[in-house]
Structure 1
Amino acid sequence: MDDLERDLTLQNEENRYKQLFLVTETFYSLLDKDALLREIIVSLEQLYPSFSYYLLLSQDNPIQNELPIMDLEYDSENVAAINSYVSGTIQMEFSLEEKRAILYAPFKGKQGVYGVLQVIASNTLEFPKNEIEFITLFANAAGGALENAQLYQQSRRVISDLQLINETSHRLNSNLRLAETMTYMSEQIKHSFDSQEVGFFLFSHDQVIANVLPGSTPFFSTKQARIYIDFINDKILQEKDSLFIGDLHLPKIYDITRFRSIMAIPMIESENLKGFSIVMHQEPYFFSFEKFKLLQLLIHHSSLALTNSILREELEKMIITDHLTKLHSRNYLDEKIQLSMKHEEEGTFIIIDIDNFKDINDTYGHQVGDEVLIQVANLIKCNIRGNDVGARWGGEELAIYLPKVTLETGVSIAERLVEKVSQCSNPPITVSCGVSYWNKDRLDSYNYLFKRADEALYIAKSTGKNKVVSQRNSIRAS
């Protein structure tokens, strides 16, 4: 080789290494993994237009159908590729029949190997030494850039996860109602985990039955869901630990929707198992292990707030509920009537008195007297709507307030209750009712509303009992 040829060769080599330097700069400027992989392919096309190549990646591959990217499979027959990945060194293959040479260069970073570059050269059985060195440098640059992009994406995920936990914890500690708390949690999990179904369950006091909490997706209120709930319920009680199932097969499932990916996290507060959450998707292996760990953190940080919300509502219920009849307290009834008279058009109030209640206590004892009160209270609950208010008025007197209900309808409800009590009570008893009514067209007060009902009840008691008297009848009688 003369001096001119030597100079041209050195110049070409210098130009190639300058190109490699520019390529490396470009690689390290890209923190999006998809964009980086595209740039690696474009650079290979420019540097080696006559070669074929594949990127064999070990994990978290984006779906790039148009790019020569494949998963690096450990059980494949491509021994040279696996050896290159495991050893972190260049590996070579030669085929006399196909007249080609294949080079495998690992994508190495400081923390590990992220895949292998497969370069296929046709019509040759050997890679020149300088090409091997150049491809090695190229693969090292790509490996370092892949590591940076992956670490950057991991850091973004960690920041996003911490923000999710922080925002959720802050929201849950803002004294939300239980239904609001669970609905917020459900929406957060569906959005962050791309889940199809999210359920929250609270154990009964004997830890036998898991009750569905508000905020769970509607699926968990169906019969189909019971198979999954019972399965998870038993597992959580047995193992007292989280469940991460990639491909669930339950023998009892035939024609119902199959959910294959399951994450279930116990809700533990002060070392006591309170309940659990379930997150599901129909596709197998849908949730990553990182998502599973994030869900564990989220539920762990939320368990105290959820428990506090449940306890707060139980305490509120105790305050506004009569402990014997489980009807509302009189204070609660008073508040509801005052609000109704301030904001609504009309309403009806009923006082119910158990006839001859003293005789019941004297004949059967106070325990039976309590049971009679409970029987009448249960009949009241069965004969009113969800927005009506049944209450313990005092002693053997109970009360009902019917917002937005006319006097005629209120009298009909009272008469039905009188009939039901006489038919269903044991020992046999009767009740008397006084009914009053208000509407916004007439100046009125809730004290006067009670007074009119009490006067009507007095007339019912003094004229034979086991009957209903309304304020209209009482006015006529007086």
Structure 2
Amino acid sequence: MDKLDHQSIVNLKSRFFDLFDIDSKSFNYELILREMLYIIKNFLHASEVTYYSANEWNDEWAAEASTNPFSTAAILPYTAEMKNKLLSKEVSRKPIGIHTLEHYDLLIPLKNKDGFYNFFVVQLDGSVQESNQIGTDCLYKLISEEFSFYLIKVQDLLEIVAEEKRYKKLFKVTEKFHSSMDTEGVLRAIINTLKDIYPSLGYYLLLSHDNNTHGDLPIKDLEYDSENLAAMEAYVTGEIQFEYVKESRNSILYAPLKGKQGVYGVLQVIAENSVKFPKKEVEFITLLANTAGGALENAQLYQQSKKLVSDLQLINEASHRLNSNLRLTEMMTYMSNRISISFEAEEVGFILFSSETNSLTVLNGSTDFFRTKAAETYIHYFKEKIKQEKDSLFLGDFSMPSEEDAVYKSIMAVPMMQTGVLKGFAIVMHQLPYHFSFDTFKLLQSLIHHSTLALTNSMLREELEKMVVTDHLTKLYSRSFLDEKLVRSLVEDAEGTFILIDIDNFKAVNDTYGHQVGDEIIIQVANIIMENIRATDIGARWGGEELAIYLPRVPLQVGVFIAERLVEKVRESSAPPVTISCGVSYWMRNNEENYHSIFKRADKALYIAKETGKDRVVVQDAFRTS
């Protein structure tokens, strides 16, 4: 190398060195590469210099930068001949021997980190060619060495700067991870960090089915299948896995989101058009995934603890309410509402078995669906399953055994057991498949277990209360209960009608057919009464063969009509045939009435009915007698 070439190279190196200002905002690879090409252009008195970099994956060289903006779209095929030309490190002069580069005067091989695989081409200025001032091969080789050296240094410095930025970002996101107890917030921070640092890569979070994260995050279910073996391997082993997809020309990294207690998912990072996943990125992504795994574990444990506290509060509150002497309907309504809200259930039903009659009863408080025809299929199916298995059922995608399609896919059915005896079952349903989690199922089991005793006690209490106020033979109310309701009605209501009923010639019935038939006649009349009055009306056994009805808030005309209808019904449907006589009394507010006067008038009217032919209705109120 002569003195002139040496001085020229020193000047060239100085020009390259001036570009190294890492504190400048303009310190980026594309800009520096382009500036280096302009330095070469001026140094060689060229009209154009274009830099080509190798892409082995795409089998091509691409024009990465040029002093001519129209040359940056050029693509050259990746041929063995061209590769050998570069590996020889020899400068190619015109004609270069490549059709697409025939208008260039020089091809100078360049070294990248893997060897001599890049190059730049030079089109000399016409004045240089005319004066025959083209440089020597030795000069061009020195230019190649210096250009390669400085470009590699630029790449190394940029990697250091990028590494610093990445780890600053990792430090910040780690702070965010450990300050957040929200699972979705942690997952969102992972994706946002990767997007910020590696905008050219693709990302997915592969999570298990029990992760109910919503929103716009790129989340997929982690499923075991032949297309997902690398992801499952990362999940099971807790180690980084790599995959090379030839068809889509992608290199994929699977980083487990690993905590101290287990693996909570897999981060899938996709590098497009890459033979191998970039090594310099693997360490950072691994650190990010491990940090995120720990934060995700903490967030999930926090959420689980909150859920556990909430579940315990629900059980405690439910137990307190259920043991506060609620009426049966109030108890079931409370349970139905709490289950609907806490479990986001669409339908909640409580079904009781009758061991004596083998019948089913849908308890009040169940949602309206369970009183429809459509519910019968579900009720009878789960009744048989529970009676057979004596265990709870948890179905995520239910299908009817018959060809009939099931509207409700997610179903939980829990038996209500008391001292080893199956009393019935609770059933909770939703139309969407896999709507309920297994934790929800366990909580429902606990709730039903705690409520069954209270339910049984409430039923026994109400049954006992009913026995106290109910006549054993007729199932009508007792006289004391009717007395109590009539006295209260005198205070609370504006009017009312009282009907006193006697079975005609009852002694003759007993003498003719016996006392058992006599009891059956009383029962027949009682049943007719219950069939012809409202739930708010009070039918009672007054004593012996005498029965009574009190109709609160019912005017006299309506009361008389009911009495006449009862007389007609008994005459037509009793067997053996009997008749009844009715005495009717009526009261209204502002008249000085009391219980005794109302009864006395009805008794007097009944006496008149019996004395004037029986099988009739006689009215005696405060104004008239008929």
Query: Normalising by structure 1, what TM-score?
Result: 0.92
The aligned runs of 1:159-308 (5 Å cut-off) are: 159-206=309-356, 208-252=358-402, 254=404, 258-308=407-457
Letter in 2 for 1:21: F
CA distance in 2, matches of 1:445, 1:183: 39
CA distance in 1, matches of 2:489, 2:336: 33
Match of 2:503 in 1: 354
Match of 1:433 in 2: 582
Larger Rg: 2
Letter in 1 for 2:331: T
SS of alignment partner, residue 434 of structure 1:
strand
Unmatched runs of 5 consecutive residues or more in structure 1: none
Residue 67 (1) aligns with residue 217 (2): yes
Unmatched runs of 5 consecutive residues or more in structure 2: 1-150
Match of 2:458 in 1: 309
Match of 2:484 in 1: 335
Higher relative contact order (CA 8 A, sep 6+): 1
Q: Are the aligned partners of 2:190 and 2:288 in contact in 1 as well (CA < 8 Å)?
A: no
- CA distance 1:45–1:207, shift in 2 (3 Å): farther
Match of 1:40 in 2: 190
- CA distance 1:200–1:476, shift in 2 (3 Å): closer
Match of 1:452 among 592, 601, 620: 601
Letter in 2 for 1:78: N
Letter in 2 for 1:118: Q
Q: Are the aligned partners of 1:95 and 1:125 in contact in 2 as well (CA < 8 Å)?
A: no
Q: Are the aligned partners of 2:587 and 2:622 in contact in 1 as well (CA < 8 Å)?
A: no
Q: Give, in angstroms, the shift of residue 95 of structure 1.
A: 5.5
Cα deviation 1:115-152 (Å, max 9, x = unaligned): 22222334543456553322221111011111111111
- CA distance 1:308–1:84, shift in 2 (3 Å): same
Q: Are the aligned partners of 2:474 and 2:541 in contact in 1 as well (CA < 8 Å)?
A: yes
Match of 2:299 among 149, 161, 171: 149
Q: Are the aligned partners of 1:456 and 1:473 in contact in 2 as well (CA < 8 Å)?
A: no
Residue 136 (1) aligns with residue 286 (2): yes
Match of 1:56 in 2: 206
CA distance in 2, matches of 1:473, 1:104: 94
- CA distance 1:357–1:88, shift in 2 (3 Å): same
Q: Give, in angstroms, the shift of residue 357 of structure 1.
A: 1.5
Letter in 2 for 1:277: A
- CA distance 1:473–1:456, shift in 2 (3 Å): farther
Q: Give, in angstroms, the shift of residue 100 of structure 1.
A: 4.8
- CA distance 1:286–1:64, shift in 2 (3 Å): closer
- CA distance 1:437–1:98, shift in 2 (3 Å): closer
Residue 29 (1) aligns with residue 175 (2): no
Q: Are the aligned partners of 1:348 and 1:401 in contact in 2 as well (CA < 8 Å)?
A: yes
Match of 2:545 in 1: 396
SS of alignment partner, residue 348 of structure 1:
strand
Cα deviation 1:345-404 (Å, max 9, x = unaligned): 111111111122222222221111111111111111122122111100011111011112
Aligned-pair identity in percent equals 63
Q: Are the aligned partners of 2:609 and 2:618 in contact in 1 as well (CA < 8 Å)?
A: yes
Match of 2:275 in 1: 125
Cα deviation 1:157-180 (Å, max 9, x = unaligned): 111111111111111111111111
Letter in 1 for 2:598: L
The aligned runs of 1:342-381 (5 Å cut-off) are: 342-381=491-530
CA distance in 1, matches of 2:156, 2:428: 67
Q: Are the aligned partners of 2:538 and 2:551 in contact in 1 as well (CA < 8 Å)?
A: yes
Q: Are the aligned partners of 1:459 and 1:474 in contact in 2 as well (CA < 8 Å)?
A: no
Q: Give, in angstroms, the shift of residue 343 of structure 1.
A: 1.0
CA distance in 2, matches of 1:75, 1:407: 80
SS of alignment partner, residue 325 of structure 1:
coil
Letter in 2 for 1:458: Y
Cα deviation 1:300-331 (Å, max 9, x = unaligned): 11111111111111111111100001110001
- CA distance 1:66–1:349, shift in 2 (3 Å): closer
CA distance in 1, matches of 2:625, 2:296: 92
CA distance in 2, matches of 1:88, 1:207: 59
Q: Give, in angstroms, the shift of residue 234 of structure 1.
A: 0.8
Residue 416 (1) aligns with residue 569 (2): no
Letter in 1 for 2:297: E
Match of 1:464 among 604, 613, 619: 613
Deviates more, 1:440-449 or 1:416-425: 416-425
- Alignment coverage as a number of residue pairs: 476
- CA distance 1:41–1:362, shift in 2 (3 Å): same
CA distance in 1, matches of 2:409, 2:363: 23
- CA distance 1:253–1:309, shift in 2 (3 Å): farther
CA distance in 2, matches of 1:253, 1:227: 12
Q: Give, in angstroms, the shift of residue 294 of structure 1.
A: 1.1
CA distance in 2, matches of 1:476, 1:267: 58
- CA distance 1:125–1:142, shift in 2 (3 Å): same
Match of 1:103 in 2: 253
SS of alignment partner, residue 391 of structure 1:
strand
Letter in 2 for 1:160: S
- CA distance 1:94–1:277, shift in 2 (3 Å): closer
Q: Are the aligned partners of 2:169 and 2:193 in contact in 1 as well (CA < 8 Å)?
A: no
Q: Are the aligned partners of 2:235 and 2:263 in contact in 1 as well (CA < 8 Å)?
A: yes
Cα deviation 1:80-109 (Å, max 9, x = unaligned): 222111111112234677665332221110
CA distance in 1, matches of 2:250, 2:562: 93
Letter in 2 for 1:229: I
CA distance in 2, matches of 1:282, 1:98: 39
Q: Give, in angstroms, the shift of residue 199 of structure 1.
A: 0.8
- CA distance 1:455–1:32, shift in 2 (3 Å): same
CA distance in 2, matches of 1:97, 1:345: 88
Match of 2:535 in 1: 386
Cα RMSD of the aligned pairs, angstroms, is 2.6
Letter in 2 for 1:372: I
The aligned runs of 1:5-24 (5 Å cut-off) are: 13=163, 16-24=166-174
Deviates more, 1:122-131 or 1:175-184: 122-131
Q: Are the aligned partners of 1:347 and 1:405 in contact in 2 as well (CA < 8 Å)?
A: yes
SS of alignment partner, residue 285 of structure 1:
coil
CA distance in 2, matches of 1:473, 1:342: 18
Q: Give, in angstroms, the shift of residue 2 of structure 1.
A: 13
Q: Give, in angstroms, the shift of residue 181 of structure 1.
A: 0.9
SS of alignment partner, residue 521 of structure 2:
helix
SS of alignment partner, residue 224 of structure 1:
helix
Letter in 1 for 2:170: L
